[in-house]
Amino acid sequence: MSYDLIDIALAFGKIAVIFMVILLLAAYLVLAERVLLGRIQERFGPNRVGPFGLLQPIADGIKMLVKEDVKPAGADKWLFYLAPAMAAIPAIMIVSLIPFGAPLTFFGRPVGMQVVDLNVGLLLFIGFSSIAVYGVALGGWASNSKYSLLGSVRGLAQLISYEITMGLSLVPVVMLARSFQLSEIVDAQKTGWFILYQPIAFLIFLISIVAECRRIPFDIPEAEGELVAGFHTEYSGLRFGLFFVGEYINIIALGGLAATFFLGGWHGPLLPPVLWFLIKALAFAFLFIWLRGTLPRLRYDQLMHFCWKVLTPVALLNILATGWFILLVGKG
C-alpha cells in the first residue's frame, strides 16, 4: 500500500465535499420540515427570510451561533459540554459509510463514491448508532434537571430497545447479500431490490429508524407536552444547535441507509446514480416529516410493548423464514 499526494488530496476533498453537502442538506431539511408541517396545518411556514424563506437556515445558524450559551447551576460541566458532540458525531460518522454513487475516475484513479468502504460497514453503522445513545444519556444526566433526566432515561430504554429490532431486521439483508460491506449490499441489489424479498424486514427497519431518530410518533425522550424538550431542555445556543443538526443529519443518514439496504442504493434507470440516491434518501426524509405531521405520540408502555412483544418476535421469525428459504431454494 503506497499513498501519494493525489490519493490523500482526493480523500480529503471527498470528505470535505460530503461534509459540506450533508450540513447543507440538514440545514435545508429543517426548512423543508417547517414548510411541510405548515402546509399540512394549512399555514405557510417560514417564508420571510429571502425568497420563499430560502435564507432561513442561514438566519437560524447565525441565531444559534450568537445566542448565549447557558450552563445550568449544578450541571456536570465536562459531560454537559461533551454530550452534544456525542450526539452529533456518530450521525456524521454514519454518513461516511453510505455509498451514494457508482465509482468515478479522477486523475486516472478509481474513486469510490463513499468515504470508507469497510468490510464490516453494516456492523459499524450499528455500533455508531448505539454510541449515539450516549449523547441522549449524558446530555440529560449532566444538565441536573428533572425533565432532562426523565427524558434521557426514557431515551436510553427506547434507543437500546429499537436498536435490537433494527439489528435483527438487517440480518436478512446480510443473509441475502452475503456480506457486511455496504458496496456489496448495493451491488447485490442490481437485479432486484431487497424490499421485494424482505417487505417485513423493511417495515421493521423503517419503524426502528424512526424510533432511533427520536421522531414523532416515537419522540417520548423529548416529548414537548410533558418533558419540555426532554434531554436537551437545558441546552441553548450552539450546543442545542449541535443536538438539532445531529438529529437532522441522522434523518438523512438513516434514510440513506434504508435506501442502501432495501431500495437498491444508487441503482436506478435513466438518472445519474448520485441523483437516484438523493431521491431515495430524501424520500425517507419526506416520509419522516409526513409522519410527524400525522401521528400522535405513543405512550411509553405502548412503545416498549410494541418493540419487545411485536417487532422483535416478528423480526426473529422473519430471520428464520429467510434462513429456511435460502437453505431450501439454495440461492447462492
Q: Which residues bind another protein (CB under 8 A)?
A: 36, 38-44, 76, 79, 82, 118-120, 123-124, 126-127, 130-131, 133-134, 137-138, 141, 149, 152-153, 156-157, 159-160, 163, 180, 290-291, 293-295
- Least distance in angstroms from the C-beta of 65 to another protein: 26
- Least distance in angstroms from the C-beta of 127 to another protein: 4
Distance between CA atoms of residues 57 and 61, nearest Å = 6
- Least distance in angstroms from the C-beta of 289 to another protein: 10
Residue with Cβ nearer another protein (64 or 216): 216
Residue 211: closest CA among 161, 285, 283: 161
Distance between CA atoms of residues 320 and 298, nearest Å = 29
- Least distance in angstroms from the C-beta of 239 to another protein: 17
The DSSP secondary-structure symbol of 229 reads: T
- Least distance in angstroms from the C-beta of 294 to another protein: 5
Residue with Cβ nearer another protein (138 or 245): 138
Is 214 within 8 Å of 132 (Cβ atoms)?
A: no
Residue with Cβ nearer another protein (48 or 109): 48
Residue with Cβ nearer another protein (133 or 249): 133
- DSSP, collapsed to helix, strand or coil, labels residue 166 as helix
* Joined grid coordinates for residue 23: 450540513
The DSSP secondary-structure symbol of 295 reads: P
Q: How far is CA 221 from the centre of its chain?
A: 16
Residue with Cβ nearer another protein (237 or 293): 293
The DSSP secondary-structure symbol of 246 reads: H
Secondary structure element (H or E) that encloses residue 104, with its range: strand 104-106
